[in-house]
Amino acid sequence: MTLVLVVDDQDLVRAGLAALLRAAPNGYRVTEASDGLEAVRLAAELSPEVILMDIRMPGMDGITAIQQILAEAEKAERELPRILVLTTFDLDEHVHKALHAGASGFLVKSTPAARLFAAVDAVAAGDMAFTPEITRRLVEAFQQKHDATASAKAHESSLARPAAVPRRSAEDLTSRELDVVRMVGTGLSNADIAAELMLAEATVKTHIYRVMTKLNLASRAQVVVYAYETGLVKPGGRL
Provide mean pLDDT across the span 153-176.
61
Higher pLDDT, 1 or 99: 1
Average pLDDT in the chain: 82
Give residue 92's pLDDT band: very low, low, confident or very high (50, 70, 90): low
Give residue 222's pLDDT band: very low, low, confident or very high (50, 70, 90): confident
CA separation for the pair 116, 109 (Å, rounded): 9
Which domains can be identified in the chain, with CATH numbers?
A: 3-130 (3.40.50.2300), 158-229 (1.10.10.10)
Q: Is the pTM of this model over 0.75?
A: no
Helices 190-197 and 175-185, interaxial angle, to 10°? 130
3-state SS of the chain is CCEEEEECCCHHHHHHHHHHHHCCCCCCEEEEECCHHHHHHHHHHHCCCEEEEECCCCCCCHHHHHHHHHHHHHHCCCCCCEEEEEECHHHHHHHHHHHHHCCCEEEECCCCHHHHHHHHHHHHCCCCEECHHHHHHHHHHHHHHHHHHHHHHHHHCCCCCCCCCCCCCCCCCCHHHHHHHHHHHCCCCHHHHHHHHCCCHHHHHHHHHHHHHHHCCCCHHHHHHHHHHCCCCCCCCCC
What pLDDT is recorded for position 89? 57
What share of the chain has pLDDT > 90, as a percent? 42
Higher pLDDT, 7 or 150: 7
Tens of pLDDT along 104-120? 888 888 888 998 998 89
Tens of pLDDT along 117-164? 988 998 888 777 776 666 666 666 666 665 665 566 555 554 444 444
* pLDDT reading at 72 higher than 80: yes
